Amino acid sequence: MNIHESTYDVTFCTMIESRRQCRRRKNIKLFNKPIPVDHDEQYITLMKWMKEHGFNCKGCCLKPAVFSDTGRGLMTKKNLRPGDSIVEIPRHLLVTAKDILNTELGPIIKRQQQTPTPYQVVCAFLITERSKGKSSFWYPYINVLPKDFTTPAFGSTKQANFDVLPTIVRSRAINQLQDIRAAFETASCLFEDIERAFAQYRSVFSFDSFVWAWFVINSRSVYMEPSGCEAFDPKASDDFALAPFLDLLNHSPGAEVTAGFDPVSNCYRIKTLDSYHAYDQVFIHYGPHDNVNLLLEYGFVIPSNPHDAVSFELGAVVDAVKSQHDSPLPCRRTREVNDPWEFKAHTLKSANLDLDLSCSMSGPSWNLQTALRILCMEYNEIVTWKRVIAENNISPATNNLISMALHKLTTDEQEQTLSMLQKLDDGVCEENTDYVENVRMLWKERLDILRATQVELDPNG
């Protein structure tokens, strides 16, 4: 064996492999590198329009870019430190419901017998301004707004959008769609009055256009102090504004910012409390939303979302406990209690313990643990359940019953999750690939949480 030849061969092969790895790393780096889009015509038009109306383009460190993981967002052109201002939008470039009272729509809004909500007013404004095309003052802003959204309710004509969702999520999505439709129908008088006053707006108020405007507000507005305007429904919130350019910032659950309107500078300002390197994507924080809320309201899902959880319906929790009883139920029937399980469920509902029945990466919620405990109680314990819970004196048999019920609950949910993931892989919903990918990620995140919960369980203990 020639040691030198062997060494040469190994060294040569190592060099070749090293070069291959280097090329792979370079390709990955190139793939992950943000692609600036500030030279696209729509963004040139937007920035020119904003500059003409008081926006300090030179003082802004952000520019639009497309990122491999989040899509469109804003990246910084320089290093940022905590406390740095990242964007300031002049007040007259913000859109609030009260501002719309000073437009051509104002007189019509003010004379409505049924006062509209701020959402309905801003929806009407967006729909009419979009219909104007380039003749609208707001065209440069409206032109960069999403044309569609990957929320379940946005594709409301497609039943498959709802069918692929977890049961609880599906119920929330259907309720959301019903709320939007109710808002559209109650605004019909306002829309009809606008159409009568302005011939150019006839036939622009379709339900589809209303849903589009609704999700523009839902996903892209910022908080503003309520105006307290009497022209709006007093029961509805008037605490939001649309903010051009600023709404390109994406959400991250770990981002820390301060945001709000500054009356001194007359601007809406956002400051970061994080550090960024030049060309990093800059994030803001929408709030502690789980993936279900993010999908329903904004149309995206975040991997490993620390606020994510898997929720269960009360009926599923009751069934999981029932399944563990081989002997008579530990709750005797009396004249007052005909069905022990109904009595237990009523006890949970009366204490709001039928809410937040969930598991997260931190384990079962307090409500779920308490609900399981009550469902495993005997009648004489249930009537004084608060004291029993406070004493925290759980027998080994009851504790094992709770663990077995939770194991059953999470196992059943895992089976449903794996079944739906298979259906998604088989192409059960093919019309909107971005939406399908979001739903697939939602199910996968649920699966991770369920498996993590089971790792903590010892059903044979």
- Provide CB contacts within 8 A for 116, sequence distance 6+: 109, 124, 187, 190, 232, 233
Is 236 inside a domain boundary? yes
- Size of the chain, expressed as the number of residues it contains: 461
Binned at pLDDT 50, 70 and 90, residue 337 comes out as: low
Q: What is the CATH number of the domain that holds 125?
A: 3.90.1410.10
| Same domain for 106 and 223 | yes
Concatenate the DSSP letters of all residues of 359-398 into one string: EETTEE-HHHHHHHHHHTS-HHHHTTHHHHHHHT---HHH
Q: What is the CATH number of the domain that holds 342?
A: 3.90.1420
- Compute the distance between CA of residue 413 and CA of residue 311 in angstroms, rounded to an integer: 10
Is 271 inside a domain boundary? no
Cβ atoms 249, 74 nearer than 8 A? yes
- pLDDT attached to residue 227: 85
- pLDDT attached to residue 208: 95
Sign of the torsion angle spanned by Cα atoms 156, 158, 159, 161: negative
- pLDDT attached to residue 340: 81
Concatenate the DSSP letters of all residues of 192-216 into one string: HHHHHH-GGGTT---HHHHHHHHHH
- pLDDT attached to residue 396: 85
Two structure tokens written together for 386? 């608060």
Is 185 inside a domain boundary? yes
| Same domain for 228 and 333 | no
How is residue 12 annotated by DSSP?
H
pTM equals: 0.85
Binned at pLDDT 50, 70 and 90, residue 458 comes out as: low
Q: pLDDT (tens digit, 9 = 90+) per residue, 55-86?
A: 998 889 999 999 988 889 999 999 999 999 99
Kindly state the percentage of the chain with pLDDT values over 70: 88
Angstrom CA distances, 359 to 86, 94, 248, 297, stand at 37, 40, 32, 21
Cβ atoms 318, 285 nearer than 8 A? no
- pLDDT attached to residue 432: 63
- Provide CB contacts within 8 A for 110, sequence distance 6+: 101, 231
Of the listed ranges 355-364, 402-411, 431-440, the least confidently predicted one is: 431-440
Is 315 inside a domain boundary? yes
Give the H or E element holding residue 65: strand 62-67
How is residue 73 annotated by DSSP?
E
| Same domain for 208 and 103 | yes
Q: pLDDT: is 211 or 430 the higher one? A: 211
pLDDT at 372 over 90: yes
pLDDT at 430 over 70: no
Binned at pLDDT 50, 70 and 90, residue 153 comes out as: very high
pLDDT at 16 over 90: no
Domain that holds residue 383: 310-455
Q: pLDDT (tens digit, 9 = 90+) per residue, 296-334?
A: 999 999 999 999 999 999 999 999 999 987 544 444 444
Is 66 inside a domain boundary? no
How is residue 91 annotated by DSSP?
G
| Same domain for 207 and 324 | no
Q: pLDDT (tens digit, 9 = 90+) per residue, 31-48?
A: 468 899 889 999 999 999
Is 90 inside a domain boundary? no
Is 44 inside a domain boundary? no
Per residue, what are the HEC states of 255-309? CCEEEEEECCCCEEEEEECCCECCCCECEECCCCCCHHHHHHHCCCCCCCCCCCC
Cβ atoms 339, 320 nearer than 8 A? no
Count how many domains the chain has: 2
Q: pLDDT: is 300 or 342 the higher one? A: 300
| Same domain for 236 and 107 | yes
